[in-house]
Each structure stands twice: as C-alpha cells, then as structure tokens.
Amino acid sequence: MTAVYLFYRTGEPLVALAAGRTLPIEAEQLEGLLSVVGNFVETSVSGSRGYATTAMRYENLGIIAVRGEFTIAVVVYDGQASEALRANLLRTVQTFEERRWRDLGTWEAATKVAEDAAAELSNFLGARAGKATTRFRKGPPADAAR
C-alpha cells in the first residue's frame, strides 16, 4: 500500500496517510478523480447495507474505493490488488461507521473523529505508516450552507 484516504460522503477530504514522505496523489486531486469517474457507487456492485466498492487504475497506481453511508475510503497501491484488500477496506468502513455514526452526520462533526479514522486506516500501511500524514480540519466546505 502506498496511501489511504478518507473522504466525507460529499467528497471533502478528512484523512490522508502515506507510507512514504509524500502522498502519491494529493487528496484534492484524488477527490477530483473520483468526481470525474463520477458516482462510482451507482455503477458499482452494492455490498451489504448500501456499501459499495469499485476499483480503477490511475497512471501506474491501483485504486480501491469503498463508499459507506457517511464516508468514502480509498486505498492507493502499486501492483495487483487482492479481493482480500477490497474486503478488508469494506469491513473497516462498515466497522468505523457503525461505531461512530453519531459523529458522522456532518463534515464538521466528522473532522472531530478524523484521528480515530486515521488510526484505523493506518493499519493498511503496516509498519511504514505515518511518514506523511494529513488530517483535514479546515473550516466548512466552500459549498456548505451557511
């Protein structure tokens, strides 16, 4: 694994973790890529309880994304992905959302549990985790109702 990301369901980044010193794809660029691919959930095979996964290639990187009820988790990797990776990411999103659903109603609220999400997602990076870490705690998204 080279990086893991967590976005709020509306696309705003919450967490970005890299195995190396830099992220292979900046969160904002990945957010745009997922938007260009467009509504990947609607074209994906749904998992249990509305969860859906998709996989794509971007340049020389593989991307697996899982959309939950509140969040979108993304793993970026070199080489081939296994079905186990997709299943683990799906399970991680389901577990996180089931445990923290009360804190995920808005993007602002979700930023308050970003540390917990980062800790869970860092497991995908193994021992190399934490060299480049970004947690997004900016103000509300530009398009948020005021």
Strands (E), the chain: 3-8, 13-18, 52-58, 61-67, 71-77, 132-135
CATH topology of domain 3-135: Beta-Lactamase (3.30.450)
Say if residue 73's pLDDT is above 50: yes
Average pLDDT of the chain?
Answer: 79
Position 42 scores a pLDDT of 46
pTM over 0.95: no
Residue 27 has what pLDDT?
Answer: 78
Is pLDDT of 94 > 60? yes
